[in-house]
Amino acid sequence: MSSRALYLRDADDLRRNAGQWEAYESRGHCVVLAGPGSGKTKTLTTKLARILHEDVRPPRGVACITFSNECAKELEIRLVRLGIDADERLFVGTIHSFSLTEIILPYAKIAKLGLPEDFKVATEREQALALKNAHRLVTGQQNHAQDLKYSLGRHRRSILDRDSSEWRTVSPEMSQLVEAYEAELRKMGLIDFDDMPLLAVSALKAHPWLRRAIVAKFPVLAVDEYQDLGLALHRMVMGLCFSAGSRLFAVGDADQSVYGFTGAHPELLQRVANRSDVQTVRLEFNYRCGSNIVVASEYALGEVRGYQCPESAHEGTIFFHALHGDYGQQANHLFSVVFPELRNRFDDFKLGDVAILYSAAWIGDAVAQAARDFGLGILRSDANAIYPRSSRIMRWLEACALWCCSGWRTGRPEFSKLTRDGARLFADGLSTPESRLGFQRQLIGSLWNRRERTASIHEWLTGLRAEVLEGLLSDNMATYEAETLHTFIDKCAPGKDLYAMTLEEFAGDGQHNERVTLSSLHSAKGREFRIVILFAMDAGRIPRNGASASEMREARRSFYVGFTRPQDELHIVHSASRPSPFVTEVRQRMGH
């Protein structure tokens, strides 16, 4: 089936929902306010396919900016199903990646950004060194520089105009530290992740010709999860879409904005949606959750939104568990009592159906230990995961490992996809057809010789790094990713905690494919599971003690995000003596 036929088939499905169809048919600037489970990803990807086929003629294309690498990967997977690969006409990635690859790398010199020609992306270690040196220069002190990392990043992201009185008066000491830190990075020939959108916005503001160049290449700008992308992205949208002429198609939900600590401003989405030159569409159906969960989700949010379920929706069930003991004992109760009950209720129950969500990674440690005690596999998505789930290189290596375990027989994943994804990941080092062909040959040879499912992951990764990756890990974005890889390989070395890990465990293949998902509430956003367990929903945890009014609102939105992840069952676990006020309110309003 042709790609045109594929997206037209999906478009026909959108006709059944008036909001989705209105968004699909939009011709000018459009903002889609999409609640949980509303089919926003299908709407977005089908719309992108239509734009590429009908609205934008080659070689011009579309840039789709989203919040994280995981979100970008999900969009890419959906687009591939519509017969569309990310290529020169379609950019899909984070604001950092867009800023680096589409603005900084091509135009840094001509836009006079003050960067050395061979600059690299700083690793965590290099950032720490630059901050330490800057702190010493500004304060004369040697210690506690890293304690300021969070505040420094927030200050950089919140005040974009360095010539403004705000930059000089809000926190002059922090402004001075930021400038010293950035100067230290430049001395080392480096930029960091926060630099990317900041430099890009500065360049776009200063050079009208640059705005015209970006619009010429991407006459349509799509934004996913607009509410989480912060002030720099908003300024970019204002300049490219409402001054330079690019067309905006944005999707988001202010109720699911949970990244205030990184500089997200949910009100920016509403500000764009309220413009007179923007068509605003609200998606009002929840296709994910059972009807009882949809009704109760408004109690969780504390506000009425009027979301509806389709007539065919199942009911969905909510369970409350008031438990005694510490979190380790409560986690033991999950695996000894709740999981057997799930197996009895669902004939086709699988561990992969379940996600256990919590507010902090250290709480996840207690759940992870209990799961190991019960011999259950886990897949963690929090700050204490064995490597960041957002890491592009680790997710690509997982796919390579899966190919070595079973994919070489089944074609899932296809080897051609591994080479395409790898070529994009290491684009800086694979700039010619000859280098890409050489990469493909090296990769197939190395993977073909490493198809032993029970092989040590340490040996597998070490061999692949030496044979294929070594020369590719020193260019821009790959440098930062390389640190994640090297750290994980070290964790798997003889005598280390993960030494016993095998290739199939790393790939999640075979008997190790069934794993319970353990995730922070933040990392669960955008995902769905058959069964969700909200764990440690206690006062002092969500919200935390002493939370400000804005922190209270964000904690409530985090609770709401977790509440709206399940399809069939939601389990809310709290300590019997100190339930979260959010839990108490939901129980009271449900009559429990």
> Is 546 labelled as part of a ligand binding site?
no
- Tally: H helices and E strands in the chain: 27, 14
| Structure tokens that stand for 500 in this block | 């016993």
Three-class DSSP category at 478: helix
- Going by C-alpha positions, the residue among 207, 279, 202, 275 that lies closest to residue 244 is 207
Q: Report whether 343 contacts 582 (CB < 8 A).
A: no
- Please name which of 93, 123, 97 lies closest in space to residue 191, comparing C-alpha atoms: 123
Nearest one of 61, 64, 50 to 92, comparing CA atoms: 64
Judge whether 191 and 115 are in contact, CB under 8 Å: yes
The verdict on whether residue 38 carries a ligand-binding annotation is: yes
DSSP 3-state percent helix, strand, coil across the chain (nearest 5): 55, 15, 30
370-408 burial, b at 16+ Cβ within 10 Å, e below that, comes to: bbeeeebbbbbbbeebbbbbbbbbbbbbbbbbbbbbbbe
Query: Does residue 189 have a known ligand-binding role?
Result: no
Identify the burial level of 205 via C-beta atoms within 10 angstroms of its C-beta, where 0-12 means exposed, 13-18 middle and 19 or more buried.
middle
Residue 40 marked as a ligand binder: yes
Alpha-helical regions (H) of 274-429: 291-301, 327-333, 339-345, 361-373, 392-402, 408-410, 415-425
Residue ranges with strand state E in 100-206: 120-121, 190-191
- Is 36 annotated in some ligand binding site? yes
Element (H, E) at 65: strand 62-66
> Cα-flanking dihedrals φ and ψ of residue 222, to 5°?
-105, 140
In this structure, are strands 566-575 and 317-323 parallel, antiparallel, or unpaired?
parallel
**316 annotated to bind ligand:** no
Taking the CA atoms of residue 152, residue 157, residue 163 and residue 168 in that order, the dihedral angle to the nearest 10 degrees is -40
| CA 519/CA 350 separation, integer angstroms | 17
- DSSP structure string for 511-526: GGS--EEEEETTTTTT
Reading across the β-sheet that carries 220-223, which strands appear in turn?
Answer: 90-94, 62-66, 220-223, 247-252, 30-34, 279-283
Are 216 and 60 in contact by the 8 Å Cβ rule? The answer is yes
- Helix 149-158 and helix 172-187: axis angle, to 10°? 100
First-to-final CA distance of the chain:
52
Is 39 labeled as ligand-binding? yes
28 annotated to a ligand binding site:
no
Which residue positions form the known binding site?
34-41
Annotated binding site for ATP: 34-41
